[in-house]
A and B are shown apart, each in its own frame.
Chain A
Amino acid sequence: MSETIVSLPDQETASIPKMNYLSKENGLLSWLLTSDHKRIAILYLISISFFFFIGGSLAALIRLELLTPQSDLMATDTYNKVFSMHGIVMVFFFLVPSVPATLGNFFLPMMLGAKDLALPKVNLLSWYLYMVAGVLALYSMAAGGVDTGWTFTTPLSTHYVNTHVITTGMAIFVAGFSSIFTGLNFIVTIHKMRAPGMTWFRMPLFIWAHYAASILMVLGTPVLAIALVLVVLERTVGIGVFDPAKGGDPLLFQHLFWFYSHPAVYIMILPGMGVISEVISTFSRKRVFGYTAVAFSSVAIAVFGFFVWAHHMFIMGISSYSVLVFSLLTMLVAVPSAIKIFNWAFTLYKGSITFETPMLYAFGFMGLFTIGGMTGVFLGTSGTDIHLTETYFIVAHFHFVMVGGMLMAFLAGLHFWWPKMTGRMYPEKISQLAALITFIGFNFTFFPQFILGTLGMPRRYASYPAEFQVLNVLSTAGASILGVGYLLPVFYLLWSLKYGAIAGENPWQATGLEWQTQSPPLTENFTEIPVMDHEAYDYEWLERQKEKEVPSVG
């Protein structure tokens, strides 16, 4: 693909701007006590990457065990701990904060034309809460881990295991507050700190997506918090709230847990969808098709997302009439996601498309999220859910949307904004290769799991009937390829910090206020607050800017 829209300054004379948010102050304390949203974003980036690789190692262990039908690589108890910790680390310590806490923290204020988030100190507190939670979780893992699954089903978690439920529960509780404060900060910033002229419908769709996700964070996470508190109380004091022998109801925990955990999946995916909007627009040089529809669909997903939680409980003995209601609402929540996919596809129509790495990840997202989303429909349809629930079909479904969807979107965003955050370009060829490897590895890993699920293989099984082995081996083979695809960026991104090309202000020639300042940005983002006098994704405005601009010397 020799056609590219990359426009870099003359590499002979270009250099990183001397004054930027990275060089402003030095020393560990200047980072640990910073209130600069960009530095906090980098702190988060390092932390979540760390936890991603922990979760990934646990995944490798799972796939290795499942190479053979017998439970022979590790004790069954150990396997149970491994998949539990994999889920907990990936969901709470990687997926939930991934885009919002890194890219959202970094770019939300800049896209709005603000100098920081509304509550910078609270932002730093969020990171510290995340780190405290992370340390607790690591301690819990080191001390023997937890084997309840990430779903902490009662009464198993309250009365029938001897593992570190309380420590892990507390870790998630604290991480939850980190998430709540991030969401709170975003909502206040979006409402109160938009630059002059930045109306709601001039905001980039990335912001709309984060707004919707923040509503979910703020309203849903506290319910998880109280559910975990109740589990801890039940374990320590024995209050009986989930214990049938004392009149309690274990199904109450399910309702409280899923009331958060379903919106949680939208917390995880919406920011990724925001990234895709930005990337597709930039690399087709076009305003996103149906801006208003995409904006409203994000909010619709957030609103509807609160009313579908019991589709995780269709076979648990809830009344058939509840099943009807929740199944219907689940169908309704599927529609906005479909709308987005088509809107993104039609953004390509009559565009001018190039295929840099972020765009490749975005295409991967669109295909894989479509599959993941459609398989969600299998599960929201109550009839087929009976056969498919609690099997590998579920595992495949959520990995398609979370890994094929969200993680790809995160990588798209990371590559897209890498030049802005660091001032340097990543190496294009190897990153395209990594994207391809990831896509191939992903499909080999998770597509066989749909078939396994339909055949009936249950989830969370350390050993399985021999007839399922071929598909499991295929899945593990794919996982090894996928692992390579995820490791490559670590190396080349770190390499680029020293040897990457100087990016300049706007290497992608993107619209968006964050691209109209230097790379890396100043601590205060803008020397003076910009006035937003054009629509979002206004490429004609960008053309006019370029004509006016004096060529700069970095």
Chain B
Amino acid sequence: MDHISQVLWQFLVKWLTNFALFPPEASKIAPQMDALYFFIVLVSLIGLTIVVLLITSFSVLYSKRRHPVAVQIEGSTLLEATWTIIPLGLFLMMFVWGALIYFRVYTPPANAMNIYVVGKQWMWKAEHPGGQHEINSLHVPTGQPVQLTLISQDVFHSFSIPAFRVKREAIPGRYTTVWFEPTVPGTYHLFCTQYCGTEHSHMIGDVVVMTPEDYKKWLASSTSGMSLAQNGERLFASLSCTACHNTRPDARGPSLANVYGATLTLTSGQRITADDAYLREAILNPSQHITQGYAPIMPTYQGQVSEEGVFALVEYIKHLDSDYRVQQTTATTTLLPESEGAAAKPASAQREVKP
């Protein structure tokens, strides 16, 4: 009897995994979202059962054969109130619960590690802070909150990982973010879920969740040697940003050391927090984001630097934590004649490198 039940068990497991009703739960938020989902399923089933029961029982009890004369009933305020208030109450409960989950999904914890993702027709490019690049795949470790900073190079895309229960639109022109904490190693689907043209159905990939040790190994083996911030530094220098953003007392632009996360006052008087979005806007639409006290002379880099390049610059500025670091950058001569958007002016403007 034993091995028969074993066979049955294997069959059952195979059957269940092949006829799954929901994707694997591979992130911390997944079971929380599933709990709400199943609550709504339950409420829906009960509601449907009630409606179907009412219809069938009334149809049977009050069919013309059994109940030839109808009794005219105007209504019942009590019943109306009941089936107004109970659904409303249930819906409001779902609203609150759902809102909590929503906020949880889109509010990353402070210790989240950031991975930049750019979507373009028809692929996803992920950039790890250590400089690892991935196309149509994403390697992440378990037990570590991971934030994705998303943007599109062209049209709307949407980054979806069903196993994590997260999804976020990648929009041209602004950053969007989402975070998750993977829990179960494995390979899961990555889909683009916003229709984006011909190859929309092929803009798919794999999310590979690894244990922290495996992840470290992968990082080591996939790096090009330069971190994203280092790439950003090179770009910063080659685009002549150092001409104004240096530590000299008469510098035409503010030093960017420790600017990330700081509260700035703009020329309009507005106070803003210098986050990723601000940094991006300051590079691409500078005239509206000039810090107070500086002339609006920064040129726009729109069209000269791709979104990946902006990621690199933003990552660099995020890690710029001291004047010394700034001086190090300023001391860098133009290295890359063919780098992204090397509309670098010739050396004359940036010769002054005295710390």
Contact = CB atoms under 8 A, between A and B. Distances in A.
Contact of A353 (B64, B156, B198, B200): B64
B18 interface: yes
Nearest to A161: B197
Interface string A391-421: 1000000000000000000000000000000
B73 A456 contact: no
Interface stretch (B6-14, B87-95, B218-226, B341-349): B87-95
Given A77-B198, A286-B73, A289-B73, A350 B176 contact: no
A387 interface: yes
Contacts of B296: none
B40 A384 contact: yes
B167 A386 contact: yes
A215 B304 CA distance: 49
Contacts of B88: 331-332, 335
A71 B91 CA distance: 40
A526 interface: no
B233 interface: no
A331 B156 contact: no
Contacts of A292: 75
B247 interface: no
Contact of B80 (A287, A293, A332): A293
B99 A327 contact: yes
Interface string B66-99: 0111111111100110011001100110110111
A190 B44 CA distance: 37
A51 to B, nearest CB: 23
Interface centre among A76, A291, A348 (most CB of B within 10 A): A348
B171 A316 contact: yes
A385 B95 CA distance: 11
A382 to B, nearest CB: 4
A502 interface: no
A39 to B, nearest CB: 36
Interface residues of A, number: 95
Interface in A359-393: 363, 366-367, 370-371, 374-375, 377-378, 380-387, 389-391
Given A76-B201, A156-B156, A161-B197, A350 B33 contact: no
A343 B102 CA distance: 34
A499 interface: no
A383 B83 contact: no
A39 B22 CA distance: 51
Contacts of B135: none
A225 B88 CA distance: 34
Given A244-B172, A348-B58, A386-B166, A331 B94 contact: yes
A383 B198 contact: no
B249 interface: no
Interface stretch (B48-56, B137-145, B252-260, B318-326): B48-56
A291 B33 contact: no
Contacts of A332: 88, 91
A456 B201 contact: no
Nearest to A456: B162
B102 A467 contact: no
A249 interface: yes
B30 to A, nearest CB: 9
Interface stretch (A29-37, A267-275, A423-431, A458-466): A458-466
Interface stretch (B126-134, B187-195, B235-243): B187-195
Contact of B40 (A244, A378, A390, A463): A378
B234 interface: no
Contact of B99 (A287, A324, A342, A460): A324
B23 A456 contact: yes
Contacts of A285: 70
A382 B196 contact: no
A3 interface: yes
Contacts of B216: none
Contacts of B102: 314, 320, 323, 327, 382-383, 385-386
A459 B62 contact: no
Given A153-B195, A339-B80, A348 B52 contact: no
A241 interface: no
A390 B70 contact: no
A499 B58 CA distance: 35
Interface centre among B19, B23, B55, B105 (most CB of A within 10 A): B55
B189 A465 contact: yes
A196 interface: no
A510 interface: no
B16 interface: no
A284 interface: yes
Contacts of B154: 155, 159-160
Interface in A78-110: 80
Contacts of B285: 247
A351 B167 contact: no
Contacts of B113: none
Contacts of B273: none
Nearest to B190: A456
A315 B165 CA distance: 13
A335 B94 CA distance: 13
Nearest to A337: B87
Interface string B3-43: 00000000000000011111100000000010011001001
Contacts of A374: 40, 43-44, 47-48
B158 interface: yes
Interface string A156-176: 100111000000000000000
B297 to A, nearest CB: 20
Interface centre among A346, A383, A467 (most CB of B within 10 A): A383
Contacts of A286: 70-73
30 contacts: A76-B199, A80-B195, A80-B198, A156-B197, A286-B73, A289-B76, A290-B80, A315-B168, A320-B103, A335-B84, A335-B87, A342-B51, A349-B62, A350-B67, A355-B63, A374-B43, A381-B95, A384-B33, A384-B98, A387-B162, A387-B165, A390-B158, A390-B193, A390-B194, A451-B21, A454-B23, A455-B22, A458-B191, A458-B192, A462-B201
The 9 closest A-B pairs by CB, nearest first: A456-B162, A244-B173, A383-B101, A381-B98, A383-B98, A390-B193, A348-B58, A290-B75, A374-B44
Given A284-B62, A342-B51, 13 more contacts: A76-B201, A77-B198, A155-B155, A284-B70, A323-B99, A334-B87, A338-B84, A339-B87, A349-B62, A354-B63, A390-B160, A391-B160, A455-B162
